[in-house]
Structures are given as structure tokens and as C-alpha cells.
Amino acid sequence: MDRDIDFGYTKDHARKGANTELPAIQCWENQYKRDYVIKIVLPEFTSVCPKTGLPDFGVITIEYIPNELCLELKSLKYYLLEYRDMGIFMENIANKILDDVVKACKPKVARITGEFTPRGGLKSVIIAEHGKWPSK
């Protein structure tokens, strides 16, 4: 097997979508000072492969321990819908969502999990984290 196969992916493909400006995620004031976990699941996430233009499907899970602010769900829905026609790799999706969630609400910790529908027999699960989760 030839290990030097050129699949035609470029640096432009790799970064595509990662720096795209998306709608702001709004927040509201957290009413509790104790630590608790908020888990938000989007079971019908869609985006587009930046090279082939084919759709990608998956489940995005956002988990975080709020600090002063909590994510407002309506603005989060509009934010996530922007990925529908965006060419972006799965790895960039999880990391971009994490960056934008942290920027919006500055949680104590956060975890974004992207569990994507298998393609060609391979299933990708991407986990991006901010901060250190407390031990149980």
C-alpha cells in the first residue's frame, strides 16, 4: 500500500469554517452559586464537508458548570443552525463551539461532544474541553 497518497486536502480545507463569525450566543444571570451541570443536546446537527460539499450529521452535546451566566437556548439554536450550510471539519466544529460557549458565558468548565454519523464505516466522536472537571 502506498503511504504517500495525496488526498488533495489543503490547509485551506483544514481551517475552513474555524474562523467564521457566527451570531452571538446570549446569556442570562445564573441564580445559583452552587456547582451544577447543564447538559444541552442537539440530536439533529448538520454541517457540510469543506472538501466534498457532502452533508455531515451528528449529535452535539454541550455540558458545562455555569459561573455567573447560563446560555440562553433560543440564541444557541440560531447559532447552531448557522453550521447547516457551513463547510467545516468535525474536529473544528467541536472546538469552535467550545470557544464560542466559553466566550459567551465563561463557565467554570465546559465539554463539547460531537458524535457524528458514520461515513465509510468510520464513526467520529470529537470531545473538546475547557477547564478541569471536578472529581466525583
Q: Specify the CATH number for the domain of residue 62.
A: 3.30.1130.10
Task: Quote the domain boundaries for residue 66.
Answer: 27-130
User: What does the block give as the cell for 134?
Assistant: 471536578
d(CA 29, CA 76): 16
Whether 65 is in a domain gets the answer yes
Q: Are 23 and 83 in contact (CB under 8 A)?
A: no
85 is catalytic: no
Whether 31 is in a domain gets the answer yes
Average model confidence (pLDDT) across the chain: 91
pLDDT one-digit tens code per residue, 4-40 = 656 666 777 666 667 788 999 999 999 999 999 999 9
Whether 8 is in a domain gets the answer no
d(CA 81, CA 96): 14
d(CA 111, CA 129): 4
Model pLDDT, residue 83: 96
12 is catalytic: no
Choice among 12, 27, 35, 49 that is catalytic: 49
Alpha helices by DSSP H, listed for 1-136, are: 11-15, 73-81, 90-105
